[in-house]
Structure 1
C-alpha cells in the first residue's frame, strides 16, 4: 500500500513537472526552423556556407543590406561619399547602435572588421586586395582608400555570407584565419546567440536593445523587428522528416524541400510553400590546384560535353516550373545575362566526349566526386552525371558524406577532384565564388586574374559588362566549375507565419498568427 501510494505521488509529481515545462514553453514564443544539417562555425566572415549565413544574419550585420531587388541600401551605415574617381570611400555610421555586449558601435569596430575581412574573409580580397589604407577618420566615420576604383564596393559589403560582418574591435582584432569561438558571437543584430547543442539545435534570443532602422523592411534592408522571444535552428538532414515535422507542428519552417514534392505540398492546406524569387544554380567545382583535372582543360571540357543538364535538373527539381536548363551564369532579365560560351553548356555527346577525353590523355583513372545527401538535389545531379559520364567512358567514383564533412574536405585539395555545391543569385558577378582564387576550386591563372581585374577596377557598367562576357567565355573554355542550371528552390512554413522574406530565410519582421 505504501509503495503504491509512492508510485502515485511520483506520477503526480511527473505530471506537474511536465505541465510546468509546457507552460514555460508556451510562455516563450519560439520559432523553430528545420535546417538541412549541422552548421559549420557561425563566423560568417570566413565561410560562404548557406546554413551558417541563414543563422548568422540574425546575429551579425553589415554596413549595407540588399533590398528585395538585390540593390544595396544602408544598414549600419548612415551615408557615404566617393571621392578621387572612386579611389576614396567615406562611410558615415549610424550612432547609438549597440553590440550584444552593450558596447556602442564605432568606426574602430568597422576598421578592425575590415582589416580581418581583407586578410582572412571568404570574399574580403575582392575589395580589400586593392586597399591602400582603412582608418577611422572620426568616431563614426570610416575612410577606405583604394589603389583603383571598385565598381561593386557597396554590393561586396552588403551580405553577411562571406562578407563584411561587423564585430567588436576587441574580438575581431585578435581573430585570425580560424573561426571565432562561440563566446565571441557578438553582433548588432535583432537576435543574439544563446546556446549551441551539437546535433540538436542552435538557439538565438531576442536582443531587447536592438537599434532598428526606421524605413520599412524590404528584402534584407530596412527595419528589423524581432517578434519572437527566440529562434531555434534544428538540424534535420532528411527532407521527409523536415516536411512531416512542419505538417505535425514540430517545426514552423523547413528549408530546401525536394522538387518531387512541390505539387503535393502546394495543394496541402496545412503547408505554406515559400518559392524563391531568384534562382540558385548547381555547381560542380573542378580541382584547379592538384590532381587529374589540374590545368587539364581538355578533360574538363570532355566531362561537360558528356552531360545532359536538363535531365539532371528534372530528376533533382521535378516540375518544369522549378528549373531552367540555360547556360548563362545570370538569368534572363538580369543586366549581366549573356550567351557567351554557352554553346558548350549541355551538349550531351558521349561519343565526342570519349574522343576528347582520350586526346586529353585520360586512361580510365577514377575521378573522385565529393557530394552530400543533405542537399538532395546535389546527390540527384551527381547520380545522373555519374551515369552519363560512364556512357562516355569516364570513370567517376562518388564519395558521399554529410555536408559538414564536405565543407571540411573541400578545403583539402588532395581529397577530391570534383565537388558539388550550389550558388545563390548574386547582384554582381564579383560575388561569384568561383571568381575568388582562394575559394575551394582555386581558379587562379594569368587569364582569369587579368579579366577579374578588368571587371573590378572600373565603375563604368558598360565596360564591366564587356569584361564579364569575356569571363563567362573563359569559364566555358577552362571549366573551373560546371553550371547545372537555374533552379527555383522552395521552403515550407506553417500558415500561421506572416511576413516571410521572399529573399530567403530571415525571421525579423515575421510574426505568428
Structure 2
C-alpha cells in the first residue's frame, strides 16, 4: 500500500515549507519522483538533459525505442524498417489507430512534419540532417526516409529519448511547442515550474502487445498519476526518500549508500557501470581554441583525486581512460597514454609555449550534481598550480543548460553521460554540437564511422576517433562512475536504466 493521503501530502508539504506553494493532495495510485532539477522544456527535441528525457518519455513517444539490452525496437512504427540494399532508403510502416492527447489520430503526415522539425532544431537531428535527402509520406501510414549517403546510426538516433525524434500532431509543429501533445501512456495535467510536473493516465492510449522489455513492449499505465518534483539539493532527495516523501529519487550522493542500505523504508539502486563525467571544451570561442592550452588542461588534471573527491569510495568510480568500459564492443586503448597525467609542470610548460596571458579559464558547473562541483574544485586547484587563472561559475542546472548554448560565456562546462550503445549518440563528437569540435582528420574519421555498416570495421574506426579525442583534446573524460539512485521498498517495475520510467511501476506491501 502507498502512504495514506494525509501522511504523504503532509510530508511533501513539509518538503516545500517556506515556499508559496505545496503539492496538491496526494491520491492513491500516485508515484512521486524526486528529480535533480526542473526540466527547462517539455519538448524533448530541444534538450539533451536527463531530467527532460526522464519526464517527457511518459507523454511523448518516438518511432523506435530500446529494449533492456539496448537493441532497437519499434514503438510507434509497426516493425523495423525495410532498408534498401544500398542503405539509402528506410521504409517505415506507422501504427494505425494511435491517438494524440488532443484527440486527433496519428498518421504519416504527423510523422513527416515531426521528423522535418527534428532535423532542423534538435541537437541530434542536426547530426544527420545533411545526410537526409527527404522525408516523405509514401502512404497514409507509411513514411520513407531517403538518405544522400549511408548513415549507420540513424535508427539509434530515431530511438533515443534524449534530443528525441518526438512525434507530434502536424498542427502544433512550429519553431517552439508550448503545449506538449504526444501519444504517450500519460498526458500532462499540470505543470508548476520549480514545484512539480503532474502527469495522468491517458485513457485512449494504445499499448504495444509485446511483453515489456526495457522501454519496448507493453506500457501498462499502472500508476494513476506520476509527479516529478524538482529537488535540487541531493541531501534533501535522500532525506525525502528515507522519510517516505518520495517513491523514487534520482542521482543520490555516494555517501548516502549505507543509510539507504540500512533503511527499512528505502533501498539503494547502484548502476554499475553507469557513465562518465565530462569536461566539455569550448572549441568555438575563447581560451581553449588554442591546442597547447587544451593540452595543458588535459595534462594538469589529477583524475584520481577528482574522482575520490567526487565519490569518496572506489566502490563508486573507476580511474579508466577508454571511452567505453570493460565488456563493451567499443572498448579500446587508443590514446589513453594522455589520460590522468596529473603533471602540472608539463602543463605550465605548455602554457608558456602558448604564450598564455593570464586570461581566466571559466569553468561552468552546478551543485545540483554535487559530484560535478567537487570535481571542479579539485581541478581548479591543480589548474592554478599549473599557472592558470581559474574562474568558477557555479549556477543552477537550468541556468547551466542555457549558458552552455552561448560560447561567449564559458571555456569548460561539466556534465556527464551514461555509456550509450552507439557512440554517435554522443553529440560531443560532432562538429554541430555546442562544443564545435572539428578538424579535417577527425571529420574524415567520423564520416567513415557513420557510413560503415560492418560492426568489426566500425570498432576499428572508433579506435581512431578515440585517439583524436586525446590528441586534439576534443573533450576530457574524467574516468567512470557508478550511479546511485534509490526507491521505496516495495516499488516494482522500474527498469535499470539511466532514464528511469514508471508506467509499469507500483508500490506494494
What is the TM-score with the length of structure 2 in the denominator?
A: 0.92
Residues 247 and 342 from structure 1, CA distance in 2 versus in 1: closer, same or farther, beyond 3 angstroms? same
Instruction: State how far apart, in whole Å, the 2-side matches of 1:34 and 1:92 are.
Output: 37
Which digits, 9 at most, give the CA deviation of each residue in 1:322-363, with x for residues without a partner?
211111111111111111111101011111111112112223
Q: 1:137 maps to which residue? A: 138
| Aligned 8 A contact 1:190 1:224 in 2 | yes
Which digits, 9 at most, give the CA deviation of each residue in 1:375-412, with x for residues without a partner?
11110110111111122222211110001111111111
Q: 2:404 maps to which residue? A: 410
- Please report how far the alpha carbon of residue 264 of structure 1 lies from its aligned counterpart in structure 2 after TM superposition: 2.9
In the alignment, does 2:262 pair up with 1:267? Answer: yes
The secondary structure found in structure 1 opposite 2:288 is coil
Structure 2: tracts of 5 or more residues without a match: 1-9, 14-23
- RMSD in angstroms over aligned alpha carbons? 1.6
In the alignment, does 2:177 pair up with 1:180? Answer: yes
Instruction: State how far apart, in whole Å, the 2-side matches of 1:276 and 1:105 are.
Output: 36
- Please report how far the alpha carbon of residue 365 of structure 1 lies from its aligned counterpart in structure 2 after TM superposition: 2.0
Which digits, 9 at most, give the CA deviation of each residue in 1:236-266, with x for residues without a partner?
1111111111111111111100112223322
Given candidates 230, 235, 248, the residue that maps to 1:235 is: 230
How does 1:210-225 map onto structure 2 within 5 Å?
210-225=205-220
| Aligned 8 A contact 2:127 2:432 in 1 | no
Q: 2:147 maps to which residue? A: 146
Mark the structure with the bigger radius of gyration: 1
Instruction: State how far apart, in whole Å, the 2-side matches of 1:145 and 1:129 are.
Output: 12
Q: 2:19 maps to which residue? A: none
Which digits, 9 at most, give the CA deviation of each residue in 1:83-104, with x for residues without a partner?
1411111111122111111222
| Aligned 8 A contact 1:262 1:319 in 2 | no
Q: 1:510 maps to which residue? A: 505
Instruction: State how far apart, in whole Å, the 1-side matches of 2:352 and 2:340 are.
Output: 20
| Aligned 8 A contact 2:124 2:425 in 1 | yes
| Aligned 8 A contact 2:36 2:233 in 1 | yes
In the alignment, does 2:480 pair up with 1:479? Answer: no
> Number of residue pairs matched?
485
What is the TM-score with the length of structure 1 in the denominator?
A: 0.92
| Aligned 8 A contact 1:151 1:460 in 2 | no
Given candidates 395, 406, 413, the residue that maps to 1:401 is: 395
In the alignment, does 2:321 pair up with 1:321? Answer: no
| Aligned 8 A contact 2:77 2:94 in 1 | yes
Q: 2:202 maps to which residue? A: 207
In the alignment, does 2:164 pair up with 1:169? Answer: no
- Please report how far the alpha carbon of residue 462 of structure 1 lies from its aligned counterpart in structure 2 after TM superposition: 2.4
The secondary structure found in structure 2 opposite 1:505 is coil
Q: 1:361 maps to which residue? A: 355
| Aligned 8 A contact 1:87 1:146 in 2 | yes
The secondary structure found in structure 1 opposite 2:420 is coil
Instruction: State how far apart, in whole Å, the 2-side matches of 1:429 and 1:166 are.
Output: 24
| Aligned 8 A contact 1:151 1:458 in 2 | yes
In the alignment, does 2:457 pair up with 1:466? Answer: no
